[in-house]
Amino acid sequence: MDRIRIIGGNKLHGTIPISGAKNAALPLMIAAMLTDETLILDNVPRLADVAQLQRILGNHGVDIMAAGKRPGDHEYQGQTLHISAKNIIDTTAPYELVSKMRASFWVIAPLLARMHEAKVSLPGGCAIGTRPVDLLIMALEKLGAELSIDAGYVVAKAPGGLKGATIEFPKVTVSGTHVALMAATLARGTTIIANAACEPEITDVADCLNKMGAKITGAGTPRILIEGVAKLHGARHTVLPDRIETGTYAMAVAMTGGEVQLSGARPELLQSALDVLTEAGATITVNNDGIRVARNGAGISPVTVSTAPFPGFPTDLQAQLMALMTRAKGASHITETIFENRFMHVQELARFGARIQLDGETATIDGVARLRGAPVMATDLRASVSLVIAALAAEGETMVNRIYHLDRGFERLEEKLSACGASIERISG
C-alpha cells in the first residue's frame, strides 16, 4: 500500500491549481442516467471515487468515455467525460459496489424516475457515523414510489411514473436534496423541496439539469421548485471548483506560513471558512485568478467554530481546521453538528503532540508551540488530509499510512504541495 512521507517545516510559496469538486462531479455523473442522450462533463477531477463511480454506472449499462488531452491543455486540467446512458441494462446496484462508495446509492433517483424501478443495496455504516438514508426514502415515497426493504436492498417501484409533491425535510440533507431534485425532474407535475440543502454542489447539479431541459428554480435557497418534464436531453457542463480542496490548501498555508495563489478558486463558495482563516491570522486576498492566502510573521490565533450546513462552516473542513488550531496561541473550540462521530483525527493528531480534549460534540484544542512528526493513519478522507496539514508544520518525518482515502478526494496532492516547496513524496508499495 502506498504511503506519503513528509518532512515538516517548509513554508509554502507558489500556485496551486484547484480541481473540479468531487461532491459535484459524483451527482452530475449520476444525473447523466436521467437521459438517453450524451451528457458531457468538463473539469471532472481524476480521483479514485470518480473511477469507482464509472465502474458502478458501467454496471447499469452506462457508457463513459474520457476524452484525451489536446495540445495546449494544462497538465492539471480535469478530464472531460462523455456519459451516455442510452441503454440502461440493469436497474440493480449491488452491495459489492454500493458498499464501496455511499454516494452510489443515489442512482436510485434516476433509475426510478426514468425506468420506474430500482433495486439498490443499502450503503451500510461508514467511518464518520451511521449516515442513514431514511430521508431519501421519505422523499421518493412522497413522489409516489413504493419502497420496501428486502435482504439489505431497497426495492423501489413507480409503475405509472413519479408524481410531483411537496417534500419537506426535517433536517438539512445534501443527499436527500440531490435525490429529490433528480427524481422530481421527470415526475409529473410540480415538486417543492422545502428546507433543501443550499450547498453550491446542489446549485451546480440544478444548473446542469436545467441545461438538460429540466425546469428548476430556487436551487441554492431552502425552497426549490421543480416543474416535471417528460424527457431530458444531452448537454455540456463544467464542474465547479472544489471548495473543500480550496479550504484545505488555504489551511495548509495558514499552518506553515508563506504565500500561495489558489488558482481557479471561487471565494463565494467558502466565505465562512475564509472568515475563520482571517480571524486565525491569515491574509486572504481575492483576485482575478482566484484566492491568495498568506501568513507572514503573525502567529496563529485561536478560534471558536461550529460546523453547519452551507453557508456555515463546512463539516468537510472541520478536521483541517483542528489540525491548524493545534499550533494556535491559546485554546480553540470546534463543535461538529453534522456528523456524530467525525473526530477520528483527534487521536492521530495527538501522535504529533497535539493537546485536544473531546466533550460530546465539542473539541477543545490547546495550541502547542511545536508538533513532532510521527507515523499516522486515518480512516476517512478529510481526517487523512488533516494529518498532512499537521505534518507540514511538524518537526522531522511523518509517514501517512493508508493514503487510499486521500486519493479518493484529492487530485495529485503531493505534486501540488511539493510544487510549493513542501517536502512530501509518495512511497509506493
Residues that bind ligand EPU (CB under 6 A): 23, 26, 103, 129, 131-136, 171, 173-176, 197, 315-316, 338-339, 381-382, 409
CB of 220 to ligand EPU, least distance (A): 15
- The single-letter DSSP state of residue 106 is G
Q: Is 333 exposed, middle or buried (0-12, 13-18, 19+ CB in 10 A)?
A: middle
Q: Which is nearer to ligand EPU, 50 or 85 (CB)?
A: 50
- Report CA 20 to chain centroid distance, whole Å: 10
Instruction: Give the nearest distance from C-beta 312 to ligand EPU in angstroms.
Output: 10
| Residue among 10 and 175 whose Cβ is closer to ligand EPU | 175
Respond yes or no: is residue 208 known to be catalytic.
no
Residue (157 or 171) nearer to ligand EPU, CB: 171
What burial class does residue 149 get, using C-beta atoms within 10 Å of its C-beta: 0-12 exposed, 13-18 middle, 19+ buried? exposed
Instruction: Closer to ligand EPU by CB, 193 or 371: give it.
Output: 193
Min. distance of Cβ 416 from ligand EPU in angstroms? Answer: 18
Q: How far is the CB of 150 from ligand EPU (least distance, A)?
A: 19
Least Å distance between CB 321 and ligand EPU?
14
Q: Which is nearer to ligand EPU, 261 or 318 (CB)?
A: 318
Question: Active site residue: 126, 198, 208, 420, which one?
Answer: 126
- Helix, strand, coil percent values for the chain (each to nearest 5): 35, 30, 35
Minimum CB–partner distance for residue 46 and ligand EPU (Å): 16
Distance CA 409, CA 22 (A): 6
The grid coordinates of residue 340 equal 456524530
Residue 420: CB partners within 8 Å, gap ≥ 6? 12, 13, 14, 15, 16, 258, 260
Helix axes 48-59, 22-31, angle to 10 degrees: 10
Return the closest-CA partner of residue 69 out of 60, 61, 78: 78
CA–CA dist 142, 129 (Å, integer): 26
163 contact partners, CB below 8 Å, separation of at least 6: 143, 144, 187, 188, 189
Contact in structure between 250 and 273 (CB atoms under 8 Å): yes
CB nearer ligand EPU, residue 180 or residue 356 = 180
User: Which triple of cell numbers denotes residue 409?
Assistant: 478526494
* Of residues 8 and 45, the one with the C-beta less far from ligand EPU: 45
Concatenated DSSP letters for 242-306?
-HHHHHHHHHHHHHH-EEEEEET--GGGSHHHHHHHHHTT-EEEEETTEEEEEE-S--PPP-EEE
Distance CA 93, CA 118 (A): 8
**Shortest Cβ distance from residue 140 to ligand EPU (Å)?**
11
Which residue numbers are catalytic?
126
